[in-house]
Structure 1
Amino acid sequence: MRDADVKQIAALLRERNGVDEKIAATIQRPMTAGHLGEWIAAQVFGIGLETSAVAAAVDGQFTSGPLRGRTVNVKWYLKREGLLDVTERTVLDYYLVLTGPASPAASSRGGTRPWCIESVYLFDSKQLLAELRARGVKIGAASSVRAAQWAAAEIYPSANSPVLSVTPEQADLLRLFALR
């Protein structure tokens, strides 16, 4: 073990903790991809979040537009690896998934997971559940979603889903989280 490396990591973590503290003060929840993703989605897409961060299956409801009153579970995956945490709870209407760059599900050794948003997807939860069951896919954490399903559900930067259109203002906000 090299003392210099340990000291550098400790210093970097102190810096990161300071940044995380500032983010937590704004979002009013601990800084995690889940909490921050929910907060970003709420700001960009007009979602009223549940008061409890541990509400089962539902993170909130759309407050305006064509999906007003519909329930949503927000996910933020720092890479899009074709996997989605899926629930069988019938109270959920949609998954709104923010992702970083597409990447095969492979070893993370030597890689990074940058905090960015490159794409956004909207899945109808009941339709997705039916399609996964028809394929015999395990329902739960890291359910395998086909590339064609991701493509059909994309609402940003491409507008492939007829269910929800991203406005120019929303696109401008999402571009703020681009990797480059």
Structure 2
Amino acid sequence: MSDLPWLASLLKSRNTIDGKIATLIGHTAQVGNVAEYIAATIFHIELDESGKRRGYDGHFTSGPLAGQTIDVQWHPRRDGQMNIKTDALPDYYLVFTGPETTTPSFANPWLIDSIFLFHAGELLNALRERGVQLGSGTSVTGPLWERAEIYPIPRNTRLRVSEEERKLLILFS
């Protein structure tokens, strides 16, 4: 017996959910757009209205990083890779990751297990020192990730996650 009726039912459900997410966030229901919405809400980021700024998605509106530009990324699997744009750098990269990948899987659940804040200039210098090729699948070493972590373990103190923000982030774990 064919699984096509079951697949069609699942896709209809997915289309309904994606439509509701798109209506809520005002953009298509893609992982990057959802990440920007979550980051903007929790970390007081004003997103660029056109969504077409080269190199960044918006800027912080308050706190110690007020006015600094930010590129938000969400990698459902924590695989050590980032998208580094060399033509126009933001001041910071804010990266949400899901669980670390240990075994191959077709599923990529949209979970936030960890959040990292990278100062773009410092990250770029460290990558260039190692001779890393920059682009959409830039390999970032474990020590750089560890130093950049702001959630759940606050190793990077440039952006502190408040208790209220932690409660909101737990919703996505």
User: TM exceeds 0.5?
Assistant: yes
Secondary structure of 2:150's counterpart equals strand
Amino acid at match of 2:165: Q
CA distance in 2, matches of 1:139, 1:111: 26
Query: How far off is 1:57 after superposition?
Result: 1.1
Query: 1:158 — aligned with what?
Result: 153
Deviations 1:117-142 (A, max 9, x none): 01000000010001101100001111
Q: Confirm or deny: 8 A CA contact 1:90 1:126 kept in the other structure.
A: no
Amino acid at match of 2:162: T
Equivalent residue in structure 2 for 1:67, among 65, 68, 80: 65
Establish whether residue 175 from structure 1 lines up as the match of residue 173 from structure 2. no
CA distance in 1, matches of 2:167, 2:87: 33
Equivalent residue in structure 1 for 2:126, among 123, 127, 131: 131
Query: How far off is 1:53 after superposition?
Result: 2.1
Structure 2 unaligned runs (5+)?
A: none
Equivalent residue in structure 1 for 2:90, among 80, 89, 92: 92
User: What pairs with 1:9-48 in structure 2 (closer than 5 Å)?
Assistant: 9-48=7-46
CA distance in 2, matches of 1:116, 1:140: 24
Runs of 4+ in 1 over 6 A off after TM superposition: none
Query: 2:144 — aligned with what?
Result: 149
User: What pairs with 1:81-120 in structure 2 (closer than 5 Å)?
Assistant: 81-104=79-102, 108=104, 110-120=105-115
Query: How far off is 1:112 after superposition?
Result: 1.6
Deviations 1:75-119 (A, max 9, x none): 011011000010124551000001110115x7x4x4421111010
Secondary structure of 1:173's counterpart equals helix
Amino acid at match of 2:31: A
Change (3 A) 1:126 1:89: farther
Structure 1 unaligned runs (5+)?
A: none
Q: Name the % identity.
A: 41
